[in-house]
Structure formats: C-alpha cells, structure tokens
C-alpha cells in the first residue's frame, strides 16, 4: 500500500536507531490531510491539527507546511506551535479547567481562544469586554458513541457549556459586551456515524441564531481511523457533501458567510505511526504464552487505558507458524498490550511492531518504573531522520535536587 512502511524499512530503522522506537511516515500525514481538504473543498474550511495527539515539533512543522492550523489544549502547546512557525491566528487555544492567568497569556500571544465555562466567560467579559473576540465551546449533549472514556459530549461531561445554559450564556455576553466570533463543539473521539456530526451541527445552528457576529463554526473532531481489519474510517467525503448543503442553507438564514473549522488529531497522525519493540522473553505458562517486550504501558498506554486495539505483527519472522500469544510489557503492574493475539512464531529478540501508533502514543508516555522514553524518527522523502533522541539515565535525574 501507498505511504506505508514495509517490514524491511522498519527493521532497518530499528537497526539504525535501536528499540523501542516510534517511527512516523510524513507522507502518510500529507495523504490524510489532503483527503480532508478534498472532502471539504466545497465550503471554506480550516483544519486545526489537534496537536495533543503528537506534539513533536517536526510533526508540527510538517503540518504547517501542508497549510494546517493548530488546536492547542495548553499554553505550552501554544508556545510549541509558535515555535514551529504557526502565526498566532493559525492557533486555536481550547483549554479546559485552566486558570484565568493562562487565558490571559494566550490573549497576550494573540491566538484564538475557546472558552469552555460560564465562570470563565464572565471573567473574560469583565476583563476584556468586546476588545478580544472569542469562541464559545458548547456541549450539545450528543453521544458520539464508541468509548465512554473518550466521549466528551454526554450530559455529565466536564467539557463545554451545556446547550441547556443558553440563557445564562446570553446574559453574560450581553452584560459584558463579549464579541463572540465562533461557536465550537467537540463530541469526542471515534464518531462512526456521520449523522452525529450532522445532528450536532443542527444544534449548533440553533445556538448560532443567538449571536450576530459569528465568523465560524468549529465542529471539533472525532474522525475515526481503522484500527482493526474490519473497522471503517469515518466517511468524510459523504460528510463533506452533506455538510456543504446544510451550511449553505444556514448561511442564507444567518445572512452571512460562515467558515467551518475542524480539529482532527487522530485522523491526521494515527496511521503514520509505528511503534517497534523487541521481544525479550517468550514465557509459556499453564494459561497462555506470554511475549514480554522491551516496552510497556509507559510507552504506549492506549491498550491499558482505553482497552484500545492495536494491530501487532512480528516483522522479523513474518513467515513463522501462526501461534497465539499474550503480548505484555516489562512494567511492574498489569501491563497487557494484547490478549490471545495470533502472531507469527515469536522468538526472543524478534522485532514486533504496533500499528496505528502515531496518535496518543509517544505523547502519553511516561518514565514510570524509571524507564527511559523511546526515540522518535521521521520518514520523509525516502530517509529516516531522528527527531527525538532516546532518553538516557541522566534524563531521569534532570530537575531532581540531589
């Protein structure tokens, strides 16, 4: 397949840079970005890469070169974005439960700001009035389906201001003269059904009628990518067509053009990523055969944290007999990557790869058990380049007072 790294390429990268190793394919990110641009080309649309999925500055620069903007959830992500070369107006700051100081810092940096609570709206309005246009994060209470832990639209979610609090929002906006230039919603990850988007869009239209200075509607993200063979990607071209019709219709009513904004994270960077590890131990017990690898949930937490499925392959013995294994890490804690997985026979020192490891992989890694974080490598124009050094022992002591 196009823009996919072969076993041979991954083995070569492992030999050159060692394991555990995160490898990212730049052209795959480009492919995904182009698919999105194409699907939504019927209407002025901007994409803000949700960089919490993968913040390596080389990835940010690559996305910038494609024409992407950036969605940030912390002031440090904003600063990384600026450092990567994004203009302040190409950055959207969508924090949750931060102190007003952090919002003020974002104003000073000149980025777009998304406010997600009534108290913050009030504080912002009292301080800035109409001098700094903002966006409001609405919770439309539409279920994205999929995993509850990564769904943010449900009624008891901490994200956004409830659609049921519209009166309150309006009161604050009126009394403090806030300039509302955008409305935002993000219903969570893994939307399988595009009707969820369209329903949420209708909700957002009904909210939009309360504000007359809007310039954009931000529909967040949730574009799904396939993790298992039978999984489907969100049908974005069909979404693009339907969205186009709906927004054109609404613009007539609203009397003004509105841009559509999206904040894809996983969709842009999940499939570009490969996590390569070595098998350390193959251990037969009375229950199963364990493969213990030189990594753990300290490097890839998604299986333990969200019950996520990552396809795994034995790339150094691809024609070995198929057997069933439980793949575990080396952390002193339950640390299972996969139960009862069919793999080509695994021998100690074989190289295994986890696919779809670009999003929320390295980014959620830690030093638990005083283990070192992996290196990151970018494959672009046919060559591998180290974009983050493997940690060394001294990194564990950095910042400690000894």
Ligand X SMILES: *Cc1c(COP(=O)(O)O)cnc(C)c1O
Please give the structure tokens belonging to residue 358. 């670009």
Distances (CA, A) of 322 to 11, 228, 343: 20, 18, 5
Number of residues counted as binding ligand X (CB under 6 A)? 18
Of the candidate residues 23, 51, 73, 258, the single one contacting ligand X (CB under 6 A): 73
Site map for ligand X, 246-285, x if CB under 6 A? -----------------xxxxx------------------
Give yes or no for residue 50 binding ligand X (CB under 6 A). Answer: yes
What is the 8-class DSSP label of residue 191?
A: B
Closest approach of ligand X to the CB of residue 324, in Å: 31
Structure tokens at 4: 């996919």
| Nearest approach, Cβ of residue 118 and ligand X (Å) | 18
Indicate the DSSP class of residue 371.
P
Residue 337 Cβ, how far from ligand X at the closest point, in Å? 20
Residues 343-402 that bind ligand X (CB under 6 A): 359
- CB under 6 A: which stretch of 34-42, 125-133, 219-227, 379-387 binds ligand X? 219-227
- Closer to ligand X by CB, 115 or 313: give it: 115
Clarify whether 272 is annotated catalytic: no
Closest CB to ligand X among residues 92, 343:
92
Of 216 and 223, which CB lies nearer to ligand X in the complex structure?
Answer: 223
The nearest distance, CB 223 to ligand X, in angstroms, is: 6
Choose between 53 and 180: whose C-beta lies nearer to ligand X: 53
Residues 177-196 within binding reach of ligand X (CB under 6 A) = 186, 189
Considering only the stretches 22-30, 76-84, 216-224, 238-246, report the one whose residues sit in contact with ligand X under the rule CB under 6 A. Answer: 216-224
Q: Which residue has the CB atom at the shortest distance from ligand X?
A: 265
The correct pick among 222, 240, 296, 361 for binding ligand X (CB under 6 A) is 222
- Toward ligand X, which CB reaches closer, 329 or 361? 361
Residue 53 or 169: which CB sits closer to ligand X? Answer: 53
Residue 363 CB, nearest approach to ligand X (Å): 10
- Least distance between ligand X and beta carbon 197 (Å): 12
Contact assessment for residue 227 and residue 308, using Cβ atoms and an 8 Å cutoff: yes
- Comparing CA positions, the residue from 19, 11, 24, 90 lying closest to residue 53 is 24
Distance CA 212, CA 208 (A): 8
Q: Which residue has the tokens 């997600």?
A: 116
Residue 73 or 121: the one with the smaller Cβ distance to ligand X is 73
d(CA 144, CA 365): 26
**How near is the Cβ of 329 to ligand X at its closest, in Å?**
23
Among the options 51, 97, 135, 332, which is catalytic?
332
Long-range contacts formed by 6-12: CB under 8 A, 24+ apart: 7/313, 7/315, 7/316, 7/318, 7/353, 9/379, 10/274, 10/276, 10/315, 10/351, 10/353, 11/315, 11/316, 11/351, 12/384
The Cα 190–Cα 254 span in angstroms is 30
Site string for ligand X, 91-130 (x = CB under 6 A): ---x------------------------------------
Please select the residue that binds ligand X; options are 5, 21, 45, 52, rule is CB under 6 A.
Answer: 52
| 3-state secondary structure (DSSP) of residue 283 | strand
The SS3 assignment for 237 reads helix
Q: Can you give 137-189 as a three-state secondary structure string? A: EEECCCCCCCCHHHECCCCCCCCCEEHHHHHHHHHHHHHHCCCEEEEECCCEC
- Of all helices (H) and strands (E), which one includes residue 45? strand 45-50
Question: What letters, b where the CB count within 10 A reaches 16 and e where it falls short, cover 9-18?
Answer: bbeebbeebe
Judged by beta carbon, residue 73 or residue 352, the one nearer ligand X is 73
**Stretch of residues binding ligand X (CB under 6 A), selected from 48-56, 164-172, 245-253, 288-296:** 48-56
Minimum CB separation of residue 359 from ligand X in Å reads 6
How is the chain split among helix, strand and coil, in percent rounded to 5? 35, 25, 40
Structure tokens at 123: 């504080």
Residues known to be catalytic: 332
Which residues bind to ligand X, rule: CB under 6 A?
50, 52-53, 71, 73, 94, 186, 189, 220-223, 263-267, 359
């Amino acid at each position: 397949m196009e823009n996919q790294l072969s076993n041979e390429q991954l083995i070569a990268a492992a030999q050159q840079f060692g394991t555990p190793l995160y490898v990212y394919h730049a052209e795959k990110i480009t492919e995904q970005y182009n698919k999105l641009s194409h699907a939504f080309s019927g209407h002025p649309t901007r994409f803000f890469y949700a960089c919490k999925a993968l913040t390596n500055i080389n990835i940010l620069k690559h996305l910038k070169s494609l024409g992407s903007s950036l969605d940030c959830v912390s002031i440090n992500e904003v600063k990384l974005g600026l450092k990567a070369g994004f203009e302040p107006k190409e950055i959207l700051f969508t924090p949750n439960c931060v102190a007003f100081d952090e919002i003020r810092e974002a104003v000073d940096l000149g980025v777009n700001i998304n406010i997600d609570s009534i108290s913050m709206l009030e504080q912002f309005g009292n301080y800035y009035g109409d001098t700094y246009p903002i966006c409001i994060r609405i919770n439309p209470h539409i279920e994205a389906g999929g995993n509850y832990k990564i769904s943010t639209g449900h009624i008891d979610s901490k994200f956004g201001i409830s659609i049921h609090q519209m009166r309150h929002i309006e009161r604050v906006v009126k009394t403090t003269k806030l300039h509302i230039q955008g409305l935002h919603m993000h219903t969570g990850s893994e939307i399988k059904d595009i009707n969820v988007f369209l329903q949420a869009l209708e909700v957002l239209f009904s909210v939009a009628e309360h504000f007359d200075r809007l310039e954009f509607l931000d529909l967040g993200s949730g574009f799904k990518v396939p993790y298992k063979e039978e999984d489907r990607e969100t049908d974005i071209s069909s979404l693009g067509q339907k969205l186009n019709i709906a927004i054109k219709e609404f613009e007539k009513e609203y009397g003004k053009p509105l841009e559509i904004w999206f904040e894809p994270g996983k969709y842009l960077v999940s499939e570009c990523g490969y996590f390569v590890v070595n098998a350390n131990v193959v251990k037969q017990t009375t229950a199963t055969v364990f493969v213990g690898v030189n990594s753990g949930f300290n490097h890839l937490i998604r299986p333990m944290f969200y019950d996520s499925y990552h396809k795994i392959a034995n790339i150094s013995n691809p024609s070995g007999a198929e057997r069933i294994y439980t793949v575990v890490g080396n952390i002193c804690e339950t640390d299972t990557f996969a139960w009862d997985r069919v793999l080509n026979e695994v021998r100690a020192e074989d190289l295994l790869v986890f696919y779809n490891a670009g999003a929320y992989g390295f980014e959620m890694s830690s030093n638990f058990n005083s283990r070192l974080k992996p290196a990151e490598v970018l494959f672009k124009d046919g060559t591998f380049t180290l974009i983050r050094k493997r940690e060394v022992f001294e990194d564990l002591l950095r910042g400690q007072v000894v």
